[in-house]
Amino acid sequence: MSNDTSADIVIAGAGIGGLTAALALHARGITSTILEVAVELRPLGVGINIQPAAVAELTALGLGDAMAATAIPTREHRYIDHTGVTLWTEPRGIAAGHPCPQYSLHRGELQTLLLDAVRERLGDHAIRTGVRLHDLQQTGGGVRVHAHDRARGADVMFEAAALVGADGLHSVVRACLHPEHGALNGAGVVMWRGLTELDGFLDGRTMILANDKRATRLVAYPISVRHAAHGKALLNWVLLARTGAPGPVDSAGWDVPGRLADILPHVADWDLGWLDVRAVFERSAQILRYPMIDREPLERWGQGRVTLLGDAAHLMYPIGANGASQAILDAVALAVELSRGGDVPAALERYENDRRPATTAITLANRKMDRGERATSTRPADDKAAELAAITAEYRAVVERRRPGS
């Protein structure tokens, strides 16, 4: 085993949270090395939303123009039923009074944007791909990170003042810290996701949230400025349908494609009028299938000089579209606390004390909003607008109450 490198901070995972953490730390004069298990970083995934508070942090890191060049500034959420009738609308981003937009964009494009910035500012050496972390050891003055370098076919060791586990759903760092708290909770809901190019979609800046009386839901929104410039819409869509009872979920066998034949029965009686839902699914180049899951919030994330960030710390339902945004806010809050100097374990404890209550509240709020919106689907049409307004207002009150470093 070789002692491969040393850095102020080692970050496990080159996802949105890990890359943002590296940029935020660099902006405050703290060096970091990112260890990523993938040999090649490619723009994978489908669409995501970045909420205004997180957009503000990325803009402060100098990424505002790059985001504006690719992302759609979502103006409105439009709640409709399965016949296309509008039930209620909610302004978003700047239209809702925020100083920054809510952006809808391709997850892979955001990751690439962050990756390019890390390589430009920190250098190519800051990201080590093909490196799988398998153990960690805290010493009196730091952390030893034990990993395997696939390219070299050798075990390597990294030494740092702290280790940040930003390694996602299947976090090795989390497993080392909390081997007894890895259970995944399923909502009994399957999500099918895809991307479809259309000739247009409403005003090009609206997200629809459609529900039928069975609480089957379709969420769809444009995600590409480049498509819009050519009069097209690259539509990100997610169909959510209850397929079982809530309970523990085994992650084995997830990496399978979704099938059109499994989707269509859930929308057999849908007719939005202005949008051919069946054609949206049929024209998608790829269909992804996932269960909707989260984890019970942890009472603590880290220990000593090791902490967690993003999905590794607080996996949550995608209801509310806050997962990536909370990872970004985690990353900035982490950098703020470490930049204050002094004792590293104390800085990580301050970071957790700031972010853990906020993300726990959002995880629980996502569950509550999911239940509330499902219950609303069975209500008379005249009651739905008031109920949706109350549900989303309560959710906003939870999500928008804090800012990192405030």
- pLDDT tens per residue across span 245-258: 899 888 766 667 89
DSSP 183-223: PEEEEEEEEEEEEEEES--TTSSEEEEEE-TT--EEEEEE-
- Nearest CA to 105 out of 228, 253, 222 is that of 222
Measured distance CA(36)–CA(347) in Å, rounded: 24
The answer to whether residues 213 and 83 touch, using CB atoms and an 8 Å cutoff, is no
Token digits of residue 139: 């010493």
**Which pLDDT score, from 0 to 100, does residue 5 have?**
55
Q: At a CB cut-off of 8 Å and minimum separation 6, what does 362 contact?
A: 314, 316, 320, 322, 326, 398, 399
**Rounded distance, CA 90 to CA 96, Å?**
8
Please write the tens of the pLDDT for every residue from 193-233.
999 999 999 999 999 999 999 999 999 999 999 999 999 99
User: For residue range 20-31, what is the model confidence (pLDDT) as tens digits?
Assistant: 999 999 999 999
> Looking at residue 383, what is its pLDDT?
87
Q: Output the pLDDT for position 404.
A: 41
Check residue 379 and give its pLDDT.
Answer: 86
No. of helices (H) and no. of strands (E), the chain:
12, 18
- Given a cut of 60, whether residue 139 has pLDDT beyond it is yes
Q: Which domains does the chain have, with CATH numbers?
A: 2-182+295-399 (3.50.50.60)
Please report the pLDDT score of residue 10 as a whole number.
98
**Where is average pLDDT lowest: 76-85, 191-200, 234-243, 253-262?**
253-262
Token digits of residue 189:
């809901």
Q: Calculate what percentage of the chain has a pLDDT beyond 70.
A: 96
Q: How many CB atoms lie within 10 A of CB 320?
A: 22
Q: Whole-number mean pLDDT of the chain?
A: 94
Work out the burial of residue 368: count CB atoms within 10 Å of its CB; fewer than 13 is exposed, 13-18 middle, 19 or more buried: middle
Q: How many CA atoms lie within 13 A of 264 on its CB side?
A: 10
Buried-state track 92-108, b at ≥16 Cβ within 10 A, e below 16: bbeebebebbbbbbbbb
Give CA–CA dist 48/221, Å, rounded: 10
State the Cα–Cα distance between residues 15 and 11, nearest whole angstrom.
10
Q: Which residues sit opposite 107 in a β-bridge? A: none
Residue 250's pLDDT is what? 80
- Say yes or no to pLDDT of 151 above 90: no
Mean pLDDT of 254-272: 92
Question: Nearest to residue 315, comparing CAs of 362, 371, 374, 252?
Answer: 362
Residue at 169: amino acid letter: L
Nearest in space to 193 (alpha carbons), one of 110, 106, 289, 97: 289
Residue 198: closest CA among 190, 189, 208? 208
- The pLDDT of residue 120 is above 50: yes
CA neighbor of 368 nearest in space, from 325, 292, 317, 322: 317
At 308-351, the pLDDT tens digits run 999 999 999 999 899 999 999 999 999 999 999 889 999 999 99
Bridge partners for 210 per DSSP: 80, 218
Alpha-carbon distance 185 to 312, whole Å? 14
Tokens of 281: 């699914």
Consecutive H or E run containing 7: strand 2-12
